[in-house]
Amino acid sequence: MRRKGYTLVELIASLAIISIIFTIGFGGVKIYNDIAYEIEKKHLFYEIEDILSYGKKYLSEENKDGVFCIEDKGDTINVSVKVNDVSVREVELEKCISLYYENYIEQKSLETLVIKSNGNIEAKTIYFQDKNGDRDILTVAVSGNYTSIREWKKE
């Protein structure tokens, strides 16, 4: 006698295999999204450092004082170098981090650094926090010739 259909054991085994495949697939998507987010965040910091370096060079060559600005505009972050409130270079980037005060309790919408005509920048620390709660710090040294980004992990 020949039966049509599948046995209960065959159905359970195939469901188990399908669920394992979906679990691996969804885990892979989360890992991919985390990696893409980290790349986006590193790109934003690279752009900040690039515009800061450009501003130092431009203002020292032009022998002018200026201001480096990071502005949180809701969905975007605007990074610029300005001379007399006129942008010399400006980039609008997709927001993946937020500006914060040092205590990380209150968000900030604008951070500025003064760039002197000799290219020196005032010493300052800028605090950021991403959507995962990870904290990043942009530090500009007193000499103004050194810019570094440190990362703090959520405590």
| pLDDT value of residue 148 | 63
Supply the pTM of this predicted model.
0.74
Residue 48: the pLDDT is 86
Q: What does the DSSP 8-state code read for residue 75? A: S
Q: Please give the pLDDT value at position 126.
A: 85
CATH of domain 8-152: 3.55.40
The candidate with the shortest Cα–Cα distance to 54, out of 149, 147, 151, 123, is 147
Strand-pairing partners, residue 138, are 126, 149
State residue 1's pLDDT score: 59
Q: Give every residue of the chain whose pLDDT is below 50, as ranges.
A: 154-155
Tokens of 9: 């054991």
The Cα 46–Cα 42 span in angstroms is 6
Residue 60, phi then psi, degrees to nearest 5? -70, -35
Identity of the amino acid at 84: N
Q: Residue 155: what pLDDT? A: 42
The pLDDT tens digits for 84-114 are 988 899 989 888 888 888 777 778 888 888 8
Which value, to the nearest 10 degrees, does the dihedral of the CA atoms of residues 8, 10, 16, 18 take? Answer: -120
What does the pLDDT read at residue 12?
93
